[in-house]
Amino acid sequence: MSAEHGRGVAEMLETLRERAPAPTAAAGGKRPVAIAVIGRPNVGKSSLVNAMVGSERVLVHDQPGTTRDAVDTPFVYEGRPYVLVDTAGIRRKGRVTEVLEKLAVVMALKGLERSQVALLVMDASEGLAAQDAHIAGYAHEAGRAVVVVVNKWDLVPRGMVRKAEVVEQVRDRLPFLDYAPLCFTSATEGEGLRELFETIDRVAAQAQRRVPADEVTAVLRQALDRRPVSVGGMPLTIQSASQVSVGPPTIAVRVNRPDGIHFSYERYLAKSLRHAFGFEGSPLRLSFRRAGRARPSAPKARR
The CATH number given to whatever domain includes residue 278 is 3.30.300.20
203 and 226: one domain?
A: no
143 located within any domain: yes
261 and 190: one domain?
A: no
249 and 192: one domain?
A: no
What distance in Å separates the CA atoms of residue 151 and residue 247, rounded to the nearest whole number?
A: 26
Digit-by-digit pLDDT tens for the chain (303 residues) are: 888 777 888 788 878 877 877 655 444 567 899 999 888 877 888 888 888 888 655 444 444 444 444 467 788 888 899 988 765 544 444 554 555 455 545 666 777 888 999 999 999 888 888 888 888 888 899 999 999 999 999 888 887 888 999 999 999 999 999 999 999 999 888 899 999 999 999 999 999 999 999 999 999 999 999 999 999 889 999 999 999 999 999 999 999 999 989 999 999 999 999 999 999 999 999 999 998 765 555 555 555
53 and 148: one domain?
A: yes
What is the pLDDT at residue 298? 53
227 and 201: one domain?
A: no
Domain encompassing residue 138: 9-207
2 located within any domain: no
**Domain limit, last residue, from 174, 207, 240:** 207
Backbone angles phi, psi at 288, to 5 degrees: -85, 130
109 and 89: one domain?
A: yes
What is the pLDDT at residue 90? 45
303 located within any domain: no
272 and 174: one domain?
A: no
54 located within any domain: yes
What distance in Å separates the CA atoms of residue 64 and residue 253, rounded to the nearest whole number?
A: 46
297 located within any domain: no
234 and 173: one domain?
A: no
What is the pLDDT at residue 86? 61
249 located within any domain: yes
4 located within any domain: no
201 and 226: one domain?
A: no
202 and 232: one domain?
A: no
Total domains in the fold of the chain: 2
The domain that holds 121 is classified in CATH as 3.40.50.300
40 and 83: one domain?
A: yes
Backbone angles phi, psi at 241, to 5 degrees: -150, 145
User: Which pTM was predicted?
Assistant: 0.77
**Domain limit, last residue, from 148, 183, 207:** 207
What is the pLDDT at residue 92? 47
185 and 282: one domain?
A: no
**Domain limit, last residue, from 177, 207, 237:** 207
